[in-house]
Structure 1
Amino acid sequence: MAARLHALTVRASDPQALAAFWGELLGWERAPEGVVLLPDADTPFRLAFVPTDEPKAGLNQIHFHLTSNSASQADTVARALGLGASHLDVGQLPDEDHVVLADPDGNEFCVIEAGNNWLAGTGFLGEVAADGTRDVGIFWAAALGWPLVWDEDGETAIAPPAGGFKIAWGGPPLNEYAGPRRIYVELVAVGALDAEVERLVSLGAREVEWRGSEVEMADPDGNELVVRTTG
C-alpha cells in the first residue's frame, strides 16, 4: 500500500518568519506552533519549517510553481514582493512568460502566466517542480500510488488520482548540490514502518538512518526523505 505524502519540510534560517511569508502568500492557515502550514483543499500536503544554520548554496532541488488561475500574475508578483520576496535571475530567457522570484530565505519559486495549459485546473500552488531523473519520477509514482501524467524525453510528472496538482521532474542533466537538501519530503507509512521501508527499498530507495519512529531514506537520485508512523 502506498505511503501518504505528509509534508514538504523546508530548512530555514528563521522558520517562524518563513512560515509567515508562505502562509500569507498561499493563504494557508498556520498551525498553533507557527511553523507548520495547513494546506488548502487543492494541495495534498502541508508545509513545515525547521531551523538550519547552513547557508543556502546553489539552486534547490525542489521549487514551487504558483498559478495565475485565480489571480493575475502581476498581482501575485506584487503581493510576493510586498511580503519580502525578490526577483531572481536563474538564467531564464527574456521572452519567457513566467516570473522567477526568491522568498526571504533565497528559495526560488515561479509565478506562472495566465492561460498555461499544463496547470489548467490546478490550485494556486499548482505544481512542485523538481530536478530529477526519469528513475526518480517512476519511483515517486509507485511510492505514492499516483499515476504518471507525463513521461517523455526523460521528463516525468505525477498527479494524485483525483488530479488538481502535479509534481514534475525535469530530467538530466541534474544540478550540482552542496550539503543537505533545503526542501525534503516527509511520508507517513500506512502500515508498519519496517514494511514501508522495505517497500520503498524495493522501489529503489535506500536506508540512511533509523531514528525511533521515523527513518531517513534517500530516493534513487539521492534526495533525502523521511518516513514516519504518524503525522
Structure 2
Amino acid sequence: MSCRISELVLNCADPELLAAFWSDVLGYVELDREDGAIEIGPPEGFGGLQPTLILSPSTDPRTGRLPLHIDVNPVDRDQDAELERLLALGARPADVGQTGSESWHVLADPEGNEFCLLRRRLDAS
C-alpha cells in the first residue's frame, strides 16, 4: 500500500485572492468553501491524479521561502510565454540566490509565497 497527495493546504491572509490567482495559474475551479477556506481543483473534482489546493485563512501566514514550495510546468506554451502569462496574473520574480543560469524561474504569488516555473512542457491531460 502507498499514499498519494490529494490536497495541499496553504495558509494565507486572503483566500479569495489566492484562490483566484492559483485557479488561473493551474486551470482549476472552486470546489468547496468551509469555515473561510476555499478548495480549488481540476474541473473533474477531488480524487483525480492532480491534488486540490486549499487556501486556508490565517492571521499569521508564513510567506517567502516555505519548507515546501510548488513547481509548475507549462502545458500549452513554452516557458517564456508561460512566464509572461504568470507575471500578467500577478506573480512577480523572487530572488532566492539564483545564479541566472538556472533552467527555471523563481516567482512569488500575490502574497509572496515562492514557486518555480520549470522549463519542460507537460501534457495537459
TM-score class, shorter-chain normalisation, is 0.7 to 0.9
Give the match for residue 106 of structure 2.
Answer: 100
Q: What displacement does 1:2 show? A: 4.1
**Larger Rg computed on CA atoms:** 1
Deviations 1:37-80 (A, max 9, x none): 12367843111111111153551111111113432111211111
Q: Aligned residues: percent identity?
A: 33
Deviations 1:59-118 (A, max 9, x none): 111111111343211121111111111100001111112111000111111111147xxx
Inter-partner Cα distance in structure 1 for 2:41 and 2:18: 14
Of the candidates 21, 35, 40, which is equivalent to residue 37 of structure 1?
40
Q: What displacement does 1:4 show? A: 5.2
Equivalent residues of 2:63, 2:112 under 8 A apart: no
Unaligned ranges ≥5, structure 1: 116-121, 125-163, 165-231
Superposition map of 1:41-56 within 5 A = 43-56=49-62
Give the match for residue 62 of structure 1.
Answer: 68
Moved over 2 A (4+): 1-6, 39-44, 55-58
The root-mean-square deviation of aligned C-alpha atoms, in Å, is: 2.5
Distance 1:17 1:56, change over 3 A: same
Inter-partner Cα distance in structure 1 for 2:107 and 2:4: 30
Give the match for residue 23 of structure 2.
Answer: 23
Equivalent residues of 1:67, 1:123 under 8 A apart: no
Equivalent residues of 1:7, 1:48 under 8 A apart: yes
Q: How many residues align?
A: 119
Task: Tell which has more relative contact order, 1 or 2 (C-alpha 8 A, sep 6+).
Answer: 2
Inter-partner Cα distance in structure 2 for 1:5 and 1:104: 24
Q: TM-score, normalised by structure 2?
A: 0.79
Deviations 1:190-218 (A, max 9, x none): xxxxxxxxxxxxxxxxxxxxxxxxxxxxx
Unaligned ranges ≥5, structure 2: none
Distance 1:58 1:81, change over 3 A: closer
